[in-house]
Structure 1
Amino acid sequence: MVLGNRKQGNEKVDGRGIAKRWAILTLAGVLWVGPVAGTGALIPLNGWISAPIASAASGSTVKLGEEIITSGATLMKYRFKGSKGTALADIVRVDLQNPYVKLDVMTGKNGQFTTRQSTGGMAKETGAVAGVNGDYFNTSSEGAPIGGQVSKGVLMSTPSDLTGMYAFAVTKDGSPMVEQFTFEGTVKAGDGSTFPLAGMNKASYSPETSGSSYSHSNAMYIYTSAWKAIERPKNSSTTPTEVLVQNGVVTQISNNATLNITVPQDGYILRTHGKAADYVKAHLTVGETVETSYHLRVKSTGSEVDPSNLQMMIGGHTILVNDGQKTSFSRSTTSIGGTRARTALGYSRDKRYAYVIAVEKNGNSVGVSLSELQTLMKDIGVWKGMNLDGGGSTTMVTRDLGDTTAGLTFNTEYGTEQRSVVNGVGVYTSAPKGTLKGFTIKGNKTLLIGQTGSYSFKGYDTYYNPFDTSNVQVTWKSSNPSVVSVSGGVVKGAKPGTATLTASSGSASATTKVTVLGADEISSLTAGSGTGSLTAGAKIEVPVTAKTKDGQGVSISSDALKWEFIGFKGSVKDNQLTVNTVDAGVKTGYAIGRYDGFSAVVFLSAGGASTNNWENFENVSYPVDFTSNVEGVTGTAAVVQGDGDHANSKVLELNYDMTNGSGKMYAYAQLNGTTGKTLEQAATSISIDVRGDKSLNWLRAELEDAQGKTAYIDLAKVIDWNGWKTINADMSGLNISYPAKLKRLYVVNVAEGQDERAKTGNIAFDNISFNTPGTVGTEGLKKGTAQMAIGQKSMTVNGTLTTIDAAPMTRNGSTYVPIKYVLDAFGGQAKWNAGDQRITIMRGGVLMDLTVGKKEVVLNGKRQSTDVAPIVLGGRTLVPLRLVSEQLGMTVKWEQETKTITLQS
């Protein structure tokens, strides 16, 4: 259901500033210091429970583990195999029979509509120990739910006149319901006359069964102090007559006008139009009494429900599961289709458990379709359940054992940014203070060599709520100090391996395992920009960043790496590389920093190593145009005077309006017509200043290479900021030939989830630079042609025959050569490390590590898989010819008949 353009909230997550990742959560160790107490299903746990691992009958849903949040509430993690890949689901199971835990609805800021707040913000404000985002809402209106809402036993919003919209409710005796509800209400004047109420605290919308195109036409609505905005509502297409009622008495009436006040705590406002306004004029006067009465009705049974008998109720969308099986959707799901993050609610067959469900879509999870969500819910034991607002709204917060507040459970579709929404479902505990039950150890599960991590312990009581341990003295110890050293709770990785970290207090102790990652766990290692000047006295910033195979980025002190300098003498200290002296005649220098053998490289050149200010838009001599792929998308692209940090320079500004477009929409700033601006040298990365508009759209650049091939650069998957910031994007994997042309900078609004992103916006670009280490050292590289033949210990270089001590050979369809002679012919050098069986090849702006027997290379700090591995034969290392030569900028030709290899550079 398309609900309009959703606006992105600017509220960040809890004070920790990052989403909790499952790998980190598994760290928690537990220290038992007392017997089990309290009520509800209390699970003895040692961190996340992983045994037994439950697999559903369908085979697509696997339980990964669980952890208690509070007495009666447990966080469970599932893996689901869907059509697009693996998804992760986080489910808070709430025991509705536990007297210390309950569900309720969180609302905006200060419990009011029209305010909006992130799920994390609402949980923090209300003290929830867990929560998810809630009902659908029209994102272009004030911020009120589409469905009905009961919070703290009070009716705050009524169901809208829309077909197939379900709600989840829990009665005060703890019985859950998933039903369609309608609203019935009446206003009774002092003279005994009555008029029907159409609803409570509703934004304007288009009814589906009443026959009216406008919800507030010829109708009477009641607005309470839960509605903060003065306008009730906006965009109603009607002029109201409003009545203020305080303590059951009419105190003000405004004919054909709004009352310019907010609703007071001791009263409500009747908002009327047409026939309802006529009723007011005929029957209501200031000073007379007026009464209201209303109730909800279950559509399927016709039974009446007094809102005061409900503990909570929240509206949703379609039903998903009924009687433990997937069921037909109750309304169209076209606008909420696709594979997305999802939020849902349901309950078990015996009605004991409520399930608060969130499916992730982020770097670890692909999300699910609605049909897949149905399967997941059925597999985990939902008897009846419905869909809540999903996509970019999907957010879950949970409180870790020992913590006092709930934090983001997983990254949202927008990273750690949480959208502002109208309401959410909160989990609350009322358990009394118990005795100390145990400790949890908090900290990193993995460390890199030289990386430090702070570890702490936190206590929890017999109801699994935080327990103050500030006066408890704890001693820390590592089981293997050569792997992990410990000092005052600060842990430092020393070498690859695993150690057990123990926190002790008296006779009690808690443990957790800490793994120090070796080179095998690293996928890339970068040092600063990777380039610098080969000049005595030059100082180059080289902060080191590692990316692990599971995608985590970790900063490492450059001092923790072992550095080697080739072509110059230098030093590295405090993340700064200093060139002391340059060797005579050297044009290219290499600073190689190794982490457990894995290399990061900084290329230094006597000439320039980057195209700084490739374009700063100060003197643009070519045309800049706006264009789009969709006729309905309009906008402008022009060089204008900048603003903010760029007020003293010219910038390229892109304005776009996609309101009248559909499908996947692009807004291009096109450089130099269809030609583009030429980039002569091979580039490994781009740096560009971008003024964001927080539209949540996708930001890209388009290149065309020398062969006419198009390549795309992801500058930002999500424009989630306002104002200027510098973006750096990798280009090393584009595999394009140069000279290339930068043709377009543009915004993309994909079709899926389009109602969550702004369709209008304004961004700007400035100071485009390219890092071009591929040109480093070209002065010393040789050009020419060389030929070798399989089995022959000779080669011809530019017509001159040379003897070599190892002949090229073939094995399993691959050709191997002694790399030394290739480098002698075309320039470059190789170094052999016998201990690690590693050969390091350097040529120009390329540094490649190959290891004997390993089908992978580390190319300029990035691990890449290969089909072949180096071999040792007769004491000489032979390397796969095509792999090495093509990476070093040479072309290879093979003549099958003569078994001849021709190399050209």
Structure 2
Amino acid sequence: MAGRHRRYAAGRAVLAVLTALGALAGAAQAEAAPAAASHKRVRVAPGVTYEEFDIKAAKGVAHAHVLKVDLGNPQVRVDLLYPGAVASRAQVSRMADAQGAVAGVNGDFFNISEAQHPGVEATGASVGPAVAAGQALKAAVPNGQRFGPALPPDATTEDVFGVGSDGRARLDRLALDGSIRTADVELPLGGLNQYALPVGSVGAFTSAWGSASRVRATCGTDTDRAAPCSTDTHEVTVRDGKVVSAAGTPGSGAIDAWTTVLVGREAGAQQLRKLATGDAVEVEHRLVAATSGTAYRLALGGYPVLTGGKPLPGLDDTASAVRTAVGIAEDGRRVLLLALDGAAAYRSGLTIAEVASAMRRLGSDDAFSLDGGGSSTLVARKAGASAVSVLNHPSGGAERAVPNGIGVFSGS
């Protein structure tokens, strides 16, 4: 996506200016409620505030940047930040400005590299499901194909943070429910705009995917991301309900509206080879909520760390890193977006167990871990500004391009 343009010094200057204005909160230890550092805060927009504070952790002091978002305010909403295509990346600041957000953080883990598959390019697509403005963009890759730290016990790539059509935030799971119907057979749909398809399946790629190569979708297995790419693949292009072309290997390039490209591997490829030009094909797909039954207007992947005020069992308490997380409070009417600072003095960060504890002390009943490390980014508009500024120090020294994020919007 977009190029990297913000440097460590620039982020440092942003915080220095805010501090000089007396708008930033003082330091507070995690042992005391972070609210103790909330006497001074920045009002970003109606229903949106920003604050920062120190957290004393096992491996040093971490510095937290937090956005508090009141979804009960009729002027406030959150939605997915993304660069207009699933298989693409951009900096959070650029996505926020392009979509008119007043603040935001980075989102899901993503297909960042392909060192195990020579000649195959990383797609930049996210791991989990994604829903923007009520539209399902993609489904989740198999658990064994995810990028990022190991999942906690019982977590899956289908886990999402979302905001429903009722305007309330919640944690849920979104599973793909889809089918491919021809005159002779009905097949289950194994994927939607995913960088990795289950072994033996057929996946659908739409215009939402973008122009990246679809070869990566046939690499690895359900349990081993580094396994070789499949040698048994087939691709069929369906336009206006009829097959218009076929190829022995997945292709690339933008996909037109009213067009679906079906990619099959192994048994899925064998089924696609039975189709001929002109054959009628009907493809249907939707994302189904596992617990709430609600329709989501925003959803993105990661994994839960806190539910019902209690940390999930088995959370890692040894590996510390810079983190991003989202919390839910007040029965889904308040959202807390946290990104740690990646400056050298704070880079020891937090363990996932410490993230859960910090989010609970901030008042979250549920919390969800997003991508961290060099991806951790929090942006917000300063008073009178028309564009957002990066308020934390990205640990790589500049903003990383990421596939999506959570954007905060405020206004009529």
TM interval, shorter chain, is 0.7 to 0.9
Q: Contact conserved, 2:30 with 2:358, CA < 8 A, in 1?
A: no
Residues 315 and 116 (structure 1 numbering): CA distance in 2 closer, same or farther, change over 3 Å? same
| 1:339 aligns with one of 314, 320, 327 | 320
Query: Residues 4-403 of structure 1: matches in 2 within 5 Å?
Result: 10-13=3-6, 17-28=10-21, 48=23, 58-59=31-32, 61=34, 62-64=36-38, 65-107=40-82, 109=83, 111-140=84-113, 141-162=122-143, 164-165=155-156, 166-189=159-182, 191=183, 193-204=185-196, 215-234=197-216, 236=219, 237-238=229-230, 239-247=232-240, 249-259=241-251, 261-282=253-274, 285-286=277-278, 288-298=280-290, 301=291, 304=293, 309-317=295-303, 319-329=304-314, 333=316, 338-366=319-347, 367-403=349-385
Q: What is the CA distance between 1:20 and its match in structure 2?
A: 4.8
Residues 57 and 221 (structure 1 numbering): CA distance in 2 closer, same or farther, change over 3 Å? closer
Q: What is the CA distance between 1:179 and its match in structure 2?
A: 2.5
Q: Contact conserved, 1:56 with 1:379, CA < 8 A, in 2?
A: no
1:424 equivalent in alignment to 2:398: no
Residues 19 and 270 (structure 1 numbering): CA distance in 2 closer, same or farther, change over 3 Å? farther
Between the aligned partners of 2:358 and 2:379, the Cα distance in structure 1 is: 20
Letter of the structure 2 residue corresponding to residue 164 of structure 1: A
Between the aligned partners of 1:139 and 1:68, the Cα distance in structure 2 is: 35
Between the aligned partners of 1:244 and 1:353, the Cα distance in structure 2 is: 44
Letter of the structure 1 residue corresponding to residue 371 of structure 2: D
Structure 1 unaligned segments of length 5 or more: list them: 1-7, 29-46, 205-214, 432-905
Letter of the structure 1 residue corresponding to residue 81 of structure 2: M
Letter of the structure 1 residue corresponding to residue 341 of structure 2: E
Tell me what 2:224 maps to. none
Tell me what 2:148 maps to. none
Q: 3-state DSSP class of the match of 2:337?
A: strand
Query: Residues 745-760 of structure 1: matches in 2 within 5 Å?
Result: none
Residues 256 and 339 (structure 1 numbering): CA distance in 2 closer, same or farther, change over 3 Å? same
Between the aligned partners of 1:411 and 1:159, the Cα distance in structure 2 is: 30
CA deviations on 1:115-165 (whole Å, 9 max, x unpaired) are 212222222222221111111112112111111110121111112232613
Between the aligned partners of 2:266 and 2:383, the Cα distance in structure 1 is: 56
Query: Residues 623-638 of structure 1: matches in 2 within 5 Å?
Result: none
Q: Contact conserved, 2:215 with 2:250, CA < 8 A, in 1?
A: no
CA deviations on 1:233-291 (whole Å, 9 max, x unpaired) are 326223432222334x2242314233554211332211123332333344665262524
Residues 297 and 173 (structure 1 numbering): CA distance in 2 closer, same or farther, change over 3 Å? closer
Between the aligned partners of 1:350 and 1:216, the Cα distance in structure 2 is: 36
The structure in which a higher percent of residues are strand is: 1
Q: Which has the higher contact order (CA 8 A, sep 6+)?
A: 2
Q: What is the CA distance between 1:80 and its match in structure 2?
A: 1.4
Q: 3-state DSSP class of the match of 1:361?
A: coil
Residues 291 and 84 (structure 1 numbering): CA distance in 2 closer, same or farther, change over 3 Å? closer
Q: 3-state DSSP class of the match of 2:41?
A: strand
Q: 3-state DSSP class of the match of 1:26?
A: helix
Between the aligned partners of 1:293 and 1:118, the Cα distance in structure 2 is: 30
CA deviations on 1:660-711 (whole Å, 9 max, x unpaired) are xxxxxxxxxxxxxxxxxxxxxxxxxxxxxxxxxxxxxxxxxxxxxxxxxxxx
Q: What is the CA distance between 1:419 and its match in structure 2?
A: 1.3
Q: 3-state DSSP class of the match of 1:99?
A: coil
Letter of the structure 2 residue corresponding to residue 74 of structure 1: T
Q: Greater CA deviation, 257-266 or 55-64?
A: 55-64
Between the aligned partners of 2:263 and 2:256, the Cα distance in structure 1 is: 15
Q: What is the CA distance between 1:67 and its match in structure 2?
A: 1.2
Q: 3-state DSSP class of the match of 1:356?
A: strand
Q: What is the CA distance between 1:310 and its match in structure 2?
A: 1.1
Cα RMSD (Å): 2.8
Q: 3-state DSSP class of the match of 2:203?
A: strand
Tell me what 1:896 maps to. none
CA deviations on 1:271-323 (whole Å, 9 max, x unpaired) are 1233323333446652625241333241xx4x655xxx211001003x21121
Q: 3-state DSSP class of the match of 1:222?
A: strand
Query: Normalised by the size of structure 1, how large is the TM-score?
Result: 0.39
Letter of the structure 2 residue corresponding to residue 75 of structure 1: Y
Q: Contact conserved, 1:183 with 1:297, CA < 8 A, in 2?
A: no
CA deviations on 1:148-196 (whole Å, 9 max, x unpaired) are 110121111112232613310100221211123332211223x374210
What is the percentage of aligned positions where both structures have the same residue?
A: 25
Q: 3-state DSSP class of the match of 2:215?
A: coil
Between the aligned partners of 2:30 and 2:55, the Cα distance in structure 1 is: 12
Structure 2 unaligned segments of length 5 or more: list them: 114-121, 144-153, 220-228
Between the aligned partners of 1:291 and 1:340, the Cα distance in structure 2 is: 42
Tell me the number of residue pairs that the alignment of Structure 1 and Structure 2 aligns.
377
Between the aligned partners of 1:351 and 1:24, the Cα distance in structure 2 is: 33
Q: What is the CA distance between 1:217 and its match in structure 2?
A: 3.0
The structure in which a higher percent of residues are helix is: 2
Q: 3-state DSSP class of the match of 1:420?
A: coil
Q: Contact conserved, 1:131 with 1:426, CA < 8 A, in 2?
A: yes
Q: Which has the higher Rg, Structure 1 or Structure 2? A: 1
Q: 3-state DSSP class of the match of 1:377?
A: helix
Q: What is the CA distance between 1:200 and its match in structure 2?
A: 0.9
Q: 3-state DSSP class of the match of 1:186?
A: strand
Letter of the structure 1 residue corresponding to residue 155 of structure 2: G
